[in-house]
């Protein structure tokens, strides 16, 4: 940077409301809660060019210790999403006609691998991933990966998914506009994100990864985003993530000095929200 400002003060990314109250602090960034709609968001947030740089490289040059967001492939997620999609889209898998599916922020491709295992033969299953090392690792596994952002995509898809990526997106209204341009007539959208906007800061199970994560929605925020943009919600599911296995993992993380809120299994209000919605 050439000495210019690295952050900017913003209004609420959902309702444009200027009023907010302090919610929490992490990595030198503050998250606030919108007084009008309840959305939790980083404010001030890194300027757009820095957000973009971090998305492509996984590194924040503006955060002191050059944190990295490059995590590893999680093979077990292929089975997890196969199970979820197998039941949420059973009507789709019963069809014999090929489908097209694009997963946005596909990472190492676990989600598209799951979809490919379920989809009818001849289907087009692709991932979109701006971070090169992840994209290349997925390609080496034989997965079809596209480079760049949703706004660069010119083809159309029957299904688009966004799994645990929502919090990275600076302006979800803009994202939904771009999404509508790539969905086929009657196309569908799947979104999964945590219900962190509905929790108190002290209830959050682990690190928030500010400022990689810029926004945290509650259930109503996500529903309103979608219905305002002309989507009809077909199915809404909540998934617990505070089972015994996660509890054990969190003890491990705590032992290596990570910031983890240890709560007893099955007592947390934290849920992963999963929505299947159709463009009407």
Q: Which residues make up the interface to Zn ion (CB under 5 A)?
A: 12, 14-15, 17, 34, 36-37, 39
The CB-of-174 to Zn ion minimum distance in angstroms stands at 16
DSSP codes of every residue in 121-133: TT-EEEEE-S-HH
The CB-of-256 to Zn ion minimum distance in angstroms stands at 36
18 vs 230 by CB, closer to Zn ion? 18
216 vs 247 by CB, closer to Zn ion? 216
The CB-of-173 to Zn ion minimum distance in angstroms stands at 12
36 vs 152 by CB, closer to Zn ion? 36
Helix (H, G, I), strand (E, B) or coil at 190: strand
Helix (H, G, I), strand (E, B) or coil at 43: coil
Q: How far apart, in Å, are the Cα atoms of 33 and each of 164, 171, 199, 217?
A: 20, 16, 11, 10
Query: Which residues, at least 6 apart from 243, have a Cβ–Cβ distance to it below 8 Å?
Result: 265, 266
37 vs 128 by CB, closer to Zn ion? 37
Angle between helices 219-228 and 172-182 (to 10 degrees): 50
Q: What is the distance in angstroms between the CA of the first residue and the CA of the last residue of the chain?
A: 44
The CB-of-198 to Zn ion minimum distance in angstroms stands at 14
Radius of gyration from C-alpha coordinates of the chain: 19
The CB-of-36 to Zn ion minimum distance in angstroms stands at 5
| Residue in the structure block whose two tokens are 């087009």 | 124
12 vs 179 by CB, closer to Zn ion? 12
């Amino acid at each position: 940077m050439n000495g210019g400002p690295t952050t900017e003060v913003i209004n609420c990314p959902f309702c444009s409301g200027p009023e907010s109250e302090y919610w929490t602090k992490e990595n030198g960034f503050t998250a606030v809660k919108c007084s009008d709609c309840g959305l939790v968001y980083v404010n001030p947030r890194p300027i757009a060019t820095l957000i973009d740089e971090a998305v492509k490289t996984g590194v924040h040059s503006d955060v002191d210790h050059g944190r990295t967001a490059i995590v590893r492939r999680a093979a077990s997620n292929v089975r997890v999403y196969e199970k979820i999609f197998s039941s949420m889209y059973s009507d789709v898998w019963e069809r014999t006609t090929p489908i097209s599916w694009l997963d946005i922020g596909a990472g190492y491709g676990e989600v598209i691998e799951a979809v490919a295992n379920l989809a009818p033969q001849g289907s087009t299953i692709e991932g979109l991933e701006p971070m090169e090392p992840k994209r290349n690792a997925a390609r080496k596994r034989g997965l079809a990966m596209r480079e760049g952002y949703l706004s660069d995509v010119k083809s159309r898809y029957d299904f688009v998914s966004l799994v645990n990526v929502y919090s990275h997106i600076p302006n979800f209204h803009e994202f939904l506009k771009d999404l509508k341009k790539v969905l086929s007539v009657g196309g569908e959208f799947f979104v999964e994100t945590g219900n962190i906007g509905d929790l108190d800061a002290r209830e959050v199970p682990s690190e928030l990864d500010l400022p990689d994560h810029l926004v945290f929605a509650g259930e109503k925020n996500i529903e309103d985003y979608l219905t305002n943009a002309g989507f009809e919600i077909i199915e809404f599911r909540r998934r617990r993530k505070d089972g015994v296995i996660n509890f054990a993992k969190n003890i491990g993380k705590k032992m290596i000095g990570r910031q983890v809120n240890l709560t007893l299994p099955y007592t947390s209000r934290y849920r992963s929200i999963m929505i299947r919605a159709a463009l009407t």
